[in-house]
Amino acid sequence: MAVAARKAGRAGSGAANKSTSTKGQVRKAAPNTPQFDKDQDLSAYNDMLLIRRFEEKSGQMYGMGLIGGFCHLYIGQEAVVVGMQMATREGDQVITGYRDHGHMLACGMDPKGVMAELTGRRGGLSKGKGGSMHMFSKEKHFYGGHGIVGAQVSLGTGLAFANHYRENGNVSLTYFGDGAANQGQVYESFNMAALWKLPVVYIIENNRYAMGTAVTRASAQTDFSKRGVSFGIPGEQVDGMDVRAVYAAAQRAIEHARTGKGPYILEMQTYRYRGHSMSDPAKYRTKDEVARMREEHDPIEQVRRRLLEGWKLSEDELKAIDSRVREIVNEAAEFATHDPEPDPSELYTDILL
Amino acid sequence: MAIDILMPALSPTMEQGKLAKWLKKEGDKVKPGDVLAEIETDKATMEVEAIDEGVLAKILVSDGTDNVAVNTPIAVLAGEGEDVSAAASSARAPAAPAPEAQPAPTPDMQAEGLAQRPAPDGIQGTDVTPVAEPAAPAVITNRTTHDAMAEIPEGTEMVTMTVREALRDAMAEEMRKDGNVFVMGEEVAEYQGAYKVTQGLLQEFGPKRVVDTPITEHGFAGVGVGAAFTGLRPIVEFMTFNFAMQAIDQIINSAAKTLYMSGGQLGAPIVFRGPNGAAARVAAQHSQDFSAWYSNVPGLKVIAPYSASDAKGLLKSAIRDPNPVIFLENEILYGQSFPVPKLDDFTVPIGKARIHREGKDVTIVSFSIGMTYALKAAQELEKEGIQAEVIDLRTIRPMDTDTIVASVMKTGRCVTVEEGYPQSGVGAEIAARIMEHAFDYLDAPVIRVTGKDVPMPYAANLEKLALPTVAEVVQAAKAVCYR
């Protein structure tokens, strides 16, 4: 309990913290947090719910043995990618690490294709050859899906390099975690991005644990928004559980990058409810801590409350949304369960062009 | 006593240079640290500083003299209190320019086997004197001619150029053709390339397409791969491939595997290039051959050319290739001259070995600088009546097994030559393939001549022992011929 309180309080103690969360209290939007209109709340609710239900289903299917290997669920962090995507425009690219299902869904990639990739079937987005950590979509400007912690930061900087080279006005949204933030190539990339004023927004999803290592045990500087200071890269800490705060910060950051001012860092203070992967012993944090985050800061619950109380939607209307989302997820699961495995001939394809 | 001022070396591999300009004239007083002259090679320029105090009594090598051998006296300094005219007259006769390191290449491809590393020959007692002129090919050279002609149309004018110039021209030609091609790396732009391979590219293409990076291999390799994901065609130069170990995760995990992991949706059309392997006297961390390392990885193509024409034709093909290509150059070969076809758009196919010299008795397979040993050994063997067929792999992956196997079926014997380590080396792979495809044709076990199984030592004598030698190749060839 003491641990939970300290952890929950840590986020609120940072001087640069834009949110107003304090020990054990419900995080309220800061006065400058923009309000969403009804459509925005509905859209965010729908998109976050899809990720939540999809990931819950993935967890079930993993338990049934339909998904193998590593499977990293995004549950709890939905507001980050959904809020960011709301501020993008067509052509902006997204790249992330291995906790990537939510990003793919938020980019509009087909849930059936994602789920069938998780089950290693021929209808998967990578024909079953990539798996949970490796999916891509040129059409949706999603560049993976990378399994080497931190590698996507250099790659995402390269996407920005290409935007700069082509002068196309697009911005690269490069996601990584608090764990990856300690990799050397992150700072090599920060340096080049700042030096060449590349249009990239670095989104550090600080979910407080790199696998099982709390940020305080791994990071000398736990304010990740300051990680670009020596390169002159502006950064801010954002309440990553509040989709409105994420969206507002995303607009500032993307505008900065798009207008030729160079990179921008957003530290998203978020939380993952589930383990690092499916085989997480969960010994590094208390059940109370997790329960408290779920009860008091859940990103979806926040929007749901606004829809009910602010926008006066009925429970039935929300149930209708919920069942539509469940239907999409069930269809995806159904497809991913019955789609055949790749043809053995696929073993030797797609190695070289 | 008069002091000879000698032609200095800019690097351990420099054998000669140009005395570009004298900054002092005869009769000038000089103090230690004064700049006396400027010298240059095709790689770099340097100022010659005075070490001793005195009067510049006589200039022995005048401004603008080319091919001045290292350690040639270039001037005489009269010491304190010494009679300047006496010192001047004590000077030896002006040194004649050093002979060219190699005869001017001719369109005859046989002439290509003359690249020289300082003292590349055999171990003590069994030294093989490098052959200054190509021995008249006693065996059929038609195959060589025909093979070359397959890539170079008959009657094509050949021009002499160094490997360095050929690589530069290849990049420039492809950059002119395709705006998506750009080059990035350390010192590629304003410095004109650490080994002057990118010389002039900045001037022609500007800083947007010739990008100086910070010293940050891991980072810029990743940036290059990310840019390639979007369809740009980066040429990423590593100052040497030794430094690419910092970046090998991005090369293998990101560049080589993404096409497969994406089910064919997304690949990386990128070239990683730079000098690979040992130069001279740069010790263990700067002297490793990575041919076998990269050739182990599906999703990569690996090229290691020997001649300038192959360097040019293959680099152009690599830049156009939609896959990640590792292009392994060699510092020793950069300054070597070869005939290169004068064609608007000369390319060499990736994945095709070349029979450099035809023979019936033994097959010698090599690549890159290994070819220098192989070709010299073939000349030595010829004197003893052994006709060696020398195959230049040119591409390590995909390996041209057919050409090797066809040759071994003819000769029944094979020796492989490389500077890399023996275990799991390119030679080991070749030997395995020969067993798989031509076991019944073998009259002797395949012998590998490789770099020794040690980190590269610094001491000159040890370094020489660590590298393969012509004598070892000759010995191996004779052994498989039971002679």
In 3-state terms, what secondary structure has residue B161? strand
Q: Grade residue B463 by pLDDT with cuts at 50, 70 and 90.
A: very high
Q: Which has the minimum average pLDDT: A25-34, A344-353, B21-30, B388-397?
A: A25-34
* Residue A102 domain-assigned (yes or no): yes
List CB contacts (< 8 A) between B261 and chain A: 126, 129-130, 134, 136, 144-145
What pLDDT does B150 receive? 62
Do A148 and B249 lie within an 8 Å CB cutoff? Answer: yes
* Residue A31 domain-assigned (yes or no): no
- Tell me which H or E stretch contains A210: strand A209-210
Q: Grade residue B355 by pLDDT with cuts at 50, 70 and 90.
A: very high
Query: How much is the CA Rg of chain A, to the nearest whole Å?
Result: 19
What pLDDT does B40 receive? 84
Number of separate helices (H) and strands (E) present in chain B:
15, 22
Is B215's Cβ below 8 Å from some Cβ in A? no
pLDDT > 70 in chain A, percent: 91
Beta strands in B196-300 (DSSP E): 210-212, 233-237, 271-275
Q: Which residue of A has its CA nearest to B210?
A: A165
Q: Which of A93, A160, A350 sits opposite B263 (nearest CB)?
A: A350
Is the pLDDT at B117 greater than 80? The verdict is: no
Query: Which residues of A lie inside 8 Å of B (Cβ-Cβ)?
Result: 93, 95, 124-130, 134-138, 143-148, 151, 153-162, 165-166, 184-185, 188-189, 191-192, 195, 349-353
Q: Which residue of B has its CA nearest to A126?
A: B263
Q: Which has the minimum average pLDDT: A72-81, A92-101, B145-154, B155-164?
A: B145-154
Q: Which of B250, B254, B263 sits opposite A125 (nearest CB)?
A: B263
Is B263's Cβ below 8 Å from some Cβ in A? yes
* Residue A145 domain-assigned (yes or no): yes
Do A143 and B218 lie within an 8 Å CB cutoff? Answer: no
Q: Which has the minimum average pLDDT: A78-82, A276-280, B115-119, B206-210?
A: B115-119
Q: What is the CATH number of the domain that holds A90?
A: 3.40.50.970
What pLDDT does B112 receive? 35
Q: Which has the closest alpha carbon to B254: A135, A152, A349?
A: A152
Which amino acid makes up residue A312?
K
Interface mutation vs chain B, best among A142, A185, A197, A343, most B CBs within 10 Å:
A185
Q: Which has the closest alpha carbon to B351: B374, B325, B372, B389?
A: B325
State how many domains chain A has: 1
Do A159 and B229 lie within an 8 Å CB cutoff? Answer: yes
CA distances from B259 to A70, B39, B223, B292 (A): 20, 48, 17, 22
Q: Which of A136, A137, A158 sits opposite B222 (nearest CB)?
A: A158
Do B226 and A159 lie within an 8 Å CB cutoff? Answer: yes
Q: Measured between alpha carbons, how far is B301 from B312 in angstroms, rounded to an integer?
A: 16
Q: Which has the closest alpha carbon to B401: B353, B366, B364?
A: B353
Which amino acid makes up residue B31?
K
Do A188 and B230 lie within an 8 Å CB cutoff? Answer: no
Is the pLDDT at A329 greater than 70? The verdict is: yes
| Catalytic site residue from B151, B186, B237, B286 | B286
Identify the residue whose tokens are 């990739």. Answer: A117
| Structure-model confidence comparison of residues B148 and B87, the more confident one | B87
Q: How far is B41 from chain A (nearest CA, A)?
A: 32
Q: Which of B208, B216, B258 sits opposite A192 (nearest CB)?
A: B216
What pLDDT does B91 receive? 57
Is the pLDDT at B135 greater than 60? The verdict is: no
Interface mutation vs chain A, best among B223, B250, B254, B259, most A CBs within 10 Å:
B223
Is the pLDDT at B144 greater than 50? The verdict is: no
* ipTM for this model: 0.88
* Residue A3 domain-assigned (yes or no): no
Q: Which has the closest alpha carbon to A279: A118, A59, A104?
A: A59
pLDDT digit string, tens, across residues A21-39: 333 333 444 556 789 999 9
Q: Measured between alpha carbons, how far is B56 from A167 in angstroms, rounded to an integer?
A: 58
Do A188 and B228 lie within an 8 Å CB cutoff? Answer: no
Q: How far is B75 from chain A (nearest CA, A)?
A: 47
Which three-class secondary structure string do you get for A111-152?
HHHHHHHHCCCCCCCCCCCCCCCCCCECCCCEEEECCCCCHH
Q: Determine whether B378 is exposed, middle or buried from the number of CB atoms within 10 Å of its CB (0-12, 13-18, 19+).
A: buried
Is the pLDDT at B137 greater than 60? The verdict is: no
Q: Which has the minimum average pLDDT: A7-11, A136-140, A227-231?
A: A7-11
Is the pLDDT at B414 greater than 60? The verdict is: yes
Over residues B231-249, the mean pLDDT reads: 97
Is B380 tagged catalytic? no
Is the pLDDT at A332 greater than 50? The verdict is: yes
Do B260 and A351 lie within an 8 Å CB cutoff? Answer: yes
Q: Measured between alpha carbons, how far is B6 from B77 in angstroms, rounded to an integer?
A: 11
What pLDDT does B194 receive? 94
Interface mutation vs chain A, best among B175, B212, B233, B260, most A CBs within 10 Å:
B260
How far is CA B475 from its chain centroid? Answer: 25
Q: Grade residue B90 by pLDDT with cuts at 50, 70 and 90.
A: low
Report whether the peptide linkage leading into residue A31 is cis, meaning its omega lies within 30 degrees of zero: no
Is B217 tagged catalytic? yes
> What are the domain boundaries of chain B?
2-90, 158-341, 355-481
Do B262 and A165 lie within an 8 Å CB cutoff? Answer: no
Over residues B362-377, the mean pLDDT reads: 98
What pLDDT does A277 receive? 87
Over residues B77-83, the mean pLDDT reads: 80
pLDDT > 90 in chain A, percent: 88
Is B323's Cβ below 8 Å from some Cβ in A? yes
Over residues A60-74, the mean pLDDT reads: 93
DSSP string computed for A143-208: EEE--STTHHHHHHHHHHHHHHHHT----EEEEEETTGGGSHHHHHHHHHHHHTT--EEEEEEE-S
Over residues A242-267, the mean pLDDT reads: 98
Identify the residue whose tokens are 């140009």. Answer: B18
Q: Which residue of A has its CA nearest to B259?
A: A350
Q: How far is B391 from chain A (nearest CA, A)?
A: 25
What pLDDT does A239 receive? 97
Q: Which has the closest alpha carbon to B8: B33, B57, B41?
A: B41
Is B116's Cβ below 8 Å from some Cβ in A? no
List CB contacts (< 8 A) between A189 and chain B: 219, 222-223
* Residue A176 domain-assigned (yes or no): yes
pLDDT digit string, tens, across residues A132-153: 999 999 999 999 999 999 999 9
Q: Measured between alpha carbons, how far is B224 from B211 in angstroms, rounded to an integer?
A: 11
Q: Measured between alpha carbons, how far is B198 from B218 in angstroms, rounded to an integer?
A: 21
Q: Which of A143, A148, A188 sits opposite B216 (nearest CB)?
A: A188
Do A185 and B228 lie within an 8 Å CB cutoff? Answer: no
Question: What pTM value is reported for the model?
Answer: 0.84
Q: Which of B214, B226, B231 sits opposite A157 (nearest CB)?
A: B226
Q: Which residue of A has its CA nearest to B398?
A: A352
Q: Grade residue B83 by pLDDT with cuts at 50, 70 and 90.
A: confident
Which three-class secondary structure string do you get for A52-103?
HHHHHHHHHHHHCCCCCCCCCCCCCCHHHHHHHHHCCCCCCEEEECCCCHHH
Q: Over chain B, what is the mean pLDDT?
A: 87
Do A153 and B222 lie within an 8 Å CB cutoff? Answer: yes
Identify the residue whose tokens are 């001045």. Answer: B68
**β-bridge mates for residue B416, sequence order:** B365, B448
Do B263 and A191 lie within an 8 Å CB cutoff? Answer: no
Longest dimension (CA), chain B: 82
* Residue A53 domain-assigned (yes or no): yes
Do B253 and A159 lie within an 8 Å CB cutoff? Answer: no
Fold match flag (B158-341 vs B355-481)? yes
User: B314 Cβ partners below 8 Å, 6+ apart?
Assistant: B303, B305, B327, B347, B348, B350, B394, B395
Please check whether residue B67 is in contact with residue B100, taking contact to mean a CB–CB distance below 8 angstroms: yes
Which amino acid makes up residue B37?
A
Between A2-13 and A287-297, two packed helices, what is the crossing angle to 10 degrees?
Answer: 50
* Residue A203 domain-assigned (yes or no): yes
For the domain covering B355-481, report its CATH number: 3.40.50.920
Q: How far is A164 from chain B (nearest CA, A)?
A: 10
Q: How far is B214 from chain A (nearest CA, A)?
A: 7
Q: Which residue of B has its CA nearest to A122?
A: B263
The CATH superfamily holding the domain B158-341 is Thiamin diphosphate (ThDP)-binding fold, Pyr/PP domains (3.40.50.970)
Structural tokens at position A22: 């304090």
Q: Look up the CATH architecture of domain B2-90.
A: Beta Barrel (2.40)
Polymer length of chain A: 353
Is the pLDDT at A328 greater than 50? The verdict is: yes
Is the pLDDT at B120 greater than 70? The verdict is: no
Structural tokens at position B296: 């182990």
Where in the sequence is the domain holding A269, given as residue range(s)? Answer: 38-335
Q: Which of B182, B250, B301 sits opposite A154 (nearest CB)?
A: B250
Do A151 and B232 lie within an 8 Å CB cutoff? Answer: no
Q: Which of A130, A156, A195 sits opposite B261 (nearest CB)?
A: A130
* Residue A14 domain-assigned (yes or no): no
pLDDT digit string, tens, across residues B7-43: 888 776 777 888 989 999 999 998 888 889 988 877 6
Burial B4-38 (b: 16+ CB within 10 A, else e): ebebbbeeebbbbbbbbebebeeeeebeeebebbb
Beta strand B54-59 with B29-30: parallel, antiparallel or unpaired?
antiparallel
Q: Grade residue A75 by pLDDT with cuts at 50, 70 and 90.
A: very high
Provide the number of CB pairs (under 8 Å) joining chain A to chain B. Answer: 139
Is the pLDDT at A245 greater than 60? The verdict is: yes
Please check whether residue B118 is in contact with residue B124, taking contact to mean a CB–CB distance below 8 angstroms: no
Is B474's Cβ below 8 Å from some Cβ in A? no
